[in-house]
Chains A and B, each alone.
Chain A
Amino acid sequence: MIPSSKKRHYLSGADWIINALDYILKKETCSGNMSQVVLVLDNGPDAFLLQQGLQEFAMEFPVLHGSVSRDFINLAPYWKIPGECRDGIHLNVSDMDNVSSVDDVIPALEENVNRLFQGENEHLAFHLVRMGNGKSFLSMTFDHRLLDGRGAELFLDLFRAYLSGEKKSGIAEGFHFNAPARLSNWSDKFLAGRNVNRKIAALSGSAPAALPLPASGDKGFRFKLVSFGPGDTEVIYDTAYKKAGYLMEMPYLLSCVIRAVHALFRARGLQPGSYLIPVSVDMRQGGDVKQELFFNHVSYLFFQVDAKDADDLTAMIADIKAQMYDQVRAGLPGDIQEACLLMRIAPLPLLKRVFSIPFDGKIASFCFSHVGKSSYISSEFMGTEISNIFHMPRVPVPPGLGFFFNNFKGRLNLVISCLDGLLSGGEAVMLEDMIREQLGECGK
């Protein structure tokens, strides 16, 4: 069992922001701030053994059934960890004998990630979709308040190691859920807050372009998976290195997406002023993976691109690289982490209102991330080869639109996540086609 005398883990500033986004998503859509990591397997694992292993594994981690609470003395929010696990983790198995393509499975995966967790103590659910051709999809839907994207992959990898007997005993040893409240060094936090405020003020000169949200408040998210084979991926990365510089694939991919989104705005007859894109960055120190597996270890970079520059790819790449360099040099991601600690005092409904003050309530044009290397270390799960891994995150609303790149086994994936009704079917296809075109018409 996890050594935790107080059964509480104080939340970081990043965790509290994620909690605020969860609150907003529950108010504005059908569910919370959830995501899903999907393993594409060459065969179907034994469902009975999977369910059994999942129950045993989950019993080791009472943190999976925690809930958010607030300390009555120091007012800091914390994750209240139950003393023991009474409930298991849900595994849903479905057979789709008549389907053989990934596109046919996406609706079932969408249903999983759009389903609201039951109660305040459920944060994880597994789904196994078996296709008629023998392939299967194992998806883990997770609450972002408990795990970030990389943490979810690390958790799955730990589960794999447990199932394979690598670490059958003492799997939870060494995990410490006793993060301090971090209520000291106030001057550091206020200085960081000043720097972040200055950045937000600099960015909020004009409201970012954003697509109008659909009227109904209980919609789910729709997803599109664009997958490139290893050969095409190599071509894309080589092109990125030629156009943006060595290892500058993130600015290149972001620039290509901005051009596609810009084309969409123009097709709608909209006159955007500028695009604002928050890009999540991993802030793990890389020391002890066990201390950085659960909860959120992310911060953000912000990129603003004038719409009139969106047609010039070379200039846009140079601009994004310069913005990235300036923000890293200024220590913005670290400042955001530090400054967000100050926001923990604010109740979530108040934070929802605070978020809508700058940028005329539009917050961003779309969300973006690029993960170059998977944290799921193994290439198999329960003895079955994994052919691909991708993520399906629900995106904060607004903007309700996100582009998420990841790379697994030399294969580049792009998942487009979109609030139902934000784009028409034709527009979603147009976005995909535009991005493929920008990336050199690879993979079509």
Chain B
Amino acid sequence: MTVREIEESLIQGIASILSRDASSIAPDIPFHKLGIDSLAFVEILVFIEKTFKLQLIESGLDKKDFGTVHSLASFIHKKH
């Protein structure tokens, strides 16, 4: 999968978790500005595990890699 495809998949998943329209989730907006809290973020991590077969909860969850949809997609792409 390309970074772009991962991004699109993430946006669909996050929109579903937040019950929001996918078009309202820009890839470069920090997650905390989308109103995502700890629980929603863990739901996103579960979505990533189910979709990309990657368990990330035990990784450092560094803001640099997990801060936006775009950085997260790049991180998943590297790990995939």
Contact = CB atoms under 8 A, between A and B. Distances in A.
A398 to B, nearest CB: 25
B42 A328 contact: yes
B10 to A, nearest CB: 15
Contact of B49 (A244, A281, A322, A329): A329
A393 interface: no
B38 A324 contact: yes
A245 interface: yes
Ranked 8 nearest A-B pairs via Cβ: A245-B61, A286-B19, A250-B38, A372-B37, A247-B41, A246-B63, A325-B57, A246-B66
Given A285-B19, A286-B20, A328-B39, A246 B57 contact: no
A321 interface: yes
Contacts of B61: 244-248
Contacts of B38: 247-251, 324, 370, 372
A186 interface: no
A328 B31 CA distance: 19
Contacts of B60: 245
Contacts of B3: none
Nearest to A252: B38
Given A245-B60, A325-B57, A328-B46, 4 more contacts: A248-B38, A301-B39, A322-B58, A325-B46
B66 to A, nearest CB: 5
10 contacts: A244-B61, A246-B63, A249-B37, A281-B39, A318-B58, A324-B39, A328-B46, A371-B37, A372-B37, A373-B35
Interface string A239-276: 00100111111110000000000000000000000000
B44 to A, nearest CB: 9
Interface in B25-64: 31-32, 35-39, 41-43, 45-46, 49, 57-58, 60-63
Contacts of B20: 286
Contacts of A245: 60-62, 66
B26 to A, nearest CB: 17
A49 to B, nearest CB: 33
Interface of B: 18-20, 31-32, 35-39, 41-43, 45-46, 49, 57-58, 60-63, 66-67
A250 B42 CA distance: 11
Contacts of B31: 246-247
Contacts of A329: 46, 49
A249 B38 CA distance: 7
Nearest to A237: B32
B57 A241 contact: no
Contacts of A325: 42, 45-46, 57
Contacts of A246: 31, 41, 61-63, 66-67
Contacts of A372: 35, 37-38
Contacts of B63: 241, 246
Contacts of A287: 19
Nearest to A240: B38
Nearest to A371: B37
A286 B18 contact: yes
A322 B42 CA distance: 10
Nearest to A254: B38
B62 to A, nearest CB: 7
A248 B62 CA distance: 11
Contact of A250 (B37, B43, B58): B37
A286 B63 CA distance: 26
